[in-house]
Chains A and B, each alone.
Chain A
């Protein structure tokens, strides 16, 4: 077994004890799942041991995030492992203990002056749940990264389609550590969501194939109808395209090459697949898939939200398009992933 297989099987074992549940304002995350993951050291994977992490490679962290996404784990692991913690380290700030959840805010209007934050951080993933927040803030000489303890702050109650908290914090002169803003923060955030989308789409395809093989109508499993086969094959095409591009973007990040455009492409492609995959999964599942009793909604609702978060297809397509536009687009494209 490779390191990654080991990581994946450990995460799966832990997930097996935590059925995904519908998140509500009273149950905004899966604190027990987080505690189990933290105890196993999985909330520090891919972060250096000397900074308090558990060590391991980026690929291991991606494997943790993908496995949790596939299992609809309601914990801020993608934000912590792939976005906020690497940014905190890149900014030369002190990484908080990895068992205390850390998220990231790239939206809103926050100013920093004399080490204190003022303004509102919006669209904060897991607002009200996390202990720490890495915030993009405007300093006197441009944007910086600020790390702030939000454990004592109130967050507004806003949620995405799956009930994952996406509220705001009002910061009123809160003290923060401040460092230079890592250039690839937004791209990493987009790539993290793309990793989650890819894993969720793969799982939705697998569930749908399985369901089509079990559900019998007209005396045959649905899978035997050519119309259903066409739908599933089209879903498979989308999923395979997404996983290949997301993998390639992750590998580029792993090689330490500039990742902004590869992440842009991965987020656009993953977001674009959501409609086909989620729509056809629901169509094949029929009415049972339209209920909270069936597992399908845990992933389709997340996919509908994750495609919007960290920059939707439109936002990143413009970034990518602006880079590709010009006299000779081909060398740009071949050099990009």
Chain B
């Protein structure tokens, strides 16, 4: 196999197993106390700032970051264990998810000292939430075609005009790392002239309009910028380097356990009643797929600990993982006759409904599977 796709095995980590048990204990206590109920795809829809704050108090946010920025200097393997436990339990992690997973690391890499000192400790405390401001009405997979633009005014501040869309949880969040054009499009160099801005979502001129997803939930938004003035020192990284920064950010986004565990609460519900040979076989097949994905994702976490940026394997894991998440629904339906309904008296019926209504999103968000396969094809040397 080409070296771009191979990953060294993840060495077993005692520290990760120790924190895993702590998280399990915490979750069991929270569940017993009724502080949350299990749902499917909670990293999109389970917004609970109190829960996020509790995780922050326990040191489970910003885990890998330097202590001077509120982090805990733990390994990616330990963070992996924490995040996968939270997802498997269907815990409400959406409020902080983006900030902890990608905005914080992005700030660490490209932020100014002032930006880091100001923002990172608040993210790690579970008090400051971020959203991704990339997609636009006319720019999805072809992200380089964005039109939201920022122009410097006489004071050196940025004046932003345009619109972002599908902005998950903008209505609950504090900042959007927003990809904007800071130089007009040069068709010969489409990836030049973009920059990332740290946009405080309470800035005047920003309108956040809800967009409902299939189950009626409000997670998506349209975020409209009308002459929004962003202080000049809120540029993230380098002017004109937005494309490069966004690509690195997406690589981080792609490989985590949320790319195959979004529907795990449904698998767990199914496991609670699986008893016929057909049900056990289905559970076994799903388990084998899940375990393989988990090994891949663990290997990527270990590669991050070694300081590598395995962007191509990350794209591959996301392709295979999100396909699995959606396949879970069909596989279980083949062996049980429980109608999917959000109002079902049967928890399996409710889990099926949640998983089905969220399913189209798994293979779209964070770069569609077609785009990901293009990246894998590049890794295979085909393009």
CA of A336 to CA of B283, assembled, Å: 14
Name the A residues within 8 Å of B264 (CB-CB): 330
Give the Cβ gap from A204 to chain B, nearest Cβ, in Å. Answer: 11
The answer, yes or no, to whether B77 is at the interface (CB within 8 Å) is no
Complex interface bits, A190-215 against B, C-beta within 8 A gives 1, otherwise 0: 00000000000010011001001100
How distant is the Cα of A337 from the Cα of B295 in the complex, in angstroms?
A: 8
Interface assignment of B313: CB less than 8 Å from any CB of chain A: yes
The segment from B92-100, B113-121, B175-183, B285-293 found at the interface with A is: B285-293
Number of interface residues of A (CB under 8 A): 55
B382 adjacent to A209 (CB under 8 Å): yes
Q: Nearest Cβ distance between residue A263 and chain B, in whole angstroms?
A: 11
* Interface residue? A260 (CB, 8 A): no
Contact of A321 among B281, B382, B383 (CB under 8 A): B281
B382 touches A318 (CB 8 A): no
What's the Cα separation between A110 and B291 when bound, in Å? 36
A317 interface neighbour in B2, B281, B379, B382, Cβ under 8 Å: B281
Q: Judging by beta carbons under 8 Å apart, are A318 and B284 in contact? A: yes
Tell whether A334 is near chain B: CB-to-CB under 8 Å.
yes
Which residues of chain A from 230 to 286 have any CB-CB distance to chain B below 8 Å in the complex? Answer: 230, 232-234, 236-245, 247-248, 251, 264-266, 268-269, 272
Max chain A Cβ within 10 angstroms of own Cβ: one of B84, B89, B282, B380? B380
Binding site for A on B (CB under 8 A): 1-2, 5-7, 9, 20, 24, 84, 88-89, 264, 267-268, 271-272, 274-275, 277, 279-285, 287-296, 299, 313, 316, 319-320, 370, 372-374, 376-377, 379-383
Which residue of A has the minimal Cβ distance to B87?
A330
Main secondary structure of the interface of B (DSSP, over half): helix
Asked if A324 and B381 sit within 8 Å, CB to CB, the answer is no
**Shortest Cβ distance from B285 into A: residue:** A317
B302 → A minimal CB distance (Å): 11
Q: How far is the CB of B380 from chain A (nearest CB, A)?
A: 5
Q: Out of A202, A233, A240, which one reaches B296, CB within 8 Å?
A: A240
Query: A305-337 vs B: 1/0 string, CB under 8 Å?
Result: 000000001101111111011111111011011
Given contacts A327-B272, A331-B24, contact A313 B285 (CB under 8 A): yes
Q: Which of A229, A320, A325 contacts B288 (CB 8 A)?
A: A320
Contact A269 B280, beta carbon cutoff 8 Å: no
Which residues in B have their C-beta under 8 angstroms from that of A264? 284, 288
Q: Which residues of chain A have C-beta atoms less than 8 A from B281's C-beta?
A: 314, 317-318, 321
| A209-227 interface bits toward B, Cβ cutoff 8 Å, 1 = contact, 0 = none | 1001100000000011010
Minimum Cβ distance to chain A for residue B324 (Å) = 9
Contact for B271 among A241, A269, A329, A334, CB less than 8 A = A329
CB contacts (< 8 Å) of A237 on chain B: these are 316, 319-320, 376
Q: Is the CB of B284 within 8 A of A226?
A: no
Known: A232-B377, A233-B319, A240-B1. 10 other contacts (CB 8 A): A229-B377, A230-B370, A234-B373, A236-B1, A244-B296, A264-B288, A318-B281, A320-B284, A320-B287, A329-B268
Q: Report the Cα distance A247→B372, complex, angstroms.
A: 25
Nearest neighbor of B375 in chain A, beta-carbon distance: A233
Q: A262 → chain B, closest Cβ, in Å? A: 8
Chain A to chain B contacts (Cβ below 8 Å), 12 pairs: A228-B382, A229-B382, A233-B319, A236-B1, A241-B295, A248-B295, A268-B284, A269-B289, A317-B281, A320-B287, A321-B280, A329-B268
Contact residue among A241, A316, A318 (Cβ-Cβ distance under 8 Å from B277): A318
Chain B residue contacts of A228, Cβ below 8 A: 382
> For the complex, what is the distance from the CA of A202 to the CA of B313, rounded to whole Å?
15
List, in ascending order, chain B residues with CB within 8 A of A313's CB: 285
Q: How far is the CA of A287 from the CA of B234 in the complex (A)?
A: 59
Instruction: Check A251 against B288 for contact (C-beta < 8 Å).
Output: no
How far, in angstroms, from A251 to B296 measured CA to CA in the complex? 15
Query: Cα distance A269–B285 when bound, in Å?
Result: 7
The residue in chain B whose Cβ has the minimal distance to the Cβ of A243 is B1
B1 touches A224 (CB 8 A): no
Residue of chain A at shortest CB distance from B11: A251
Which of chain A's residues have a CB closer than 8 A to the CB of B313? 240
> In this complex, what residue of A is CB-closest to B290?
A333
Q: Are A248 and B9 in contact (CB under 8 A)?
A: yes
Residues of A within 8 A of B290 (CB): 333
Q: How far is the CA of A320 from the CA of B292 in the complex (A)?
A: 14
Contact with B1, one of A239, A251, A330 (Cβ below 8 angstroms): A239
Question: When chains A and B are docked, how far (Å) is the Cα of A233 from the Cα of B88?
Answer: 28
Listed from nearest, the 7 A-B pairs whose CB atoms lie closest are A317-B284, A321-B284, A321-B280, A233-B373, A320-B284, A229-B377, A321-B283
Q: Is the CB of A329 within 8 A of B267?
A: yes
Q: Which residues of A contact B280 (CB under 8 A)?
A: 317-318, 321-322, 325
**CA of A106 to CA of B200 in the docked complex: distance in angstroms?**
67
Do the beta carbons of A334 and B284 come within 8 Å of each other?
A: no
- Chain A residues in 8 Å Cβ range of B376: 233, 236-237
* B residues less than 8 Å from A318 (CB atoms): 277, 280-281, 284
In angstroms, Cα B382 to Cα A300, docked, is: 23
Contacts of B283 in A (CB 8 A): 317, 320-321, 324-325, 329
- A265 touching B319, Cβ below 8 Å: no
Cβ-defined contact, A241 with B320, below 8 A: yes
Q: CA–CA, A268 to B281, complex, Å? A: 10
Q: Evaluate contact between A240 and B271: CB separation under 8 angstroms.
A: no
For A265, the chain B residues whose CB sits under 8 A away are 287-288, 291-292
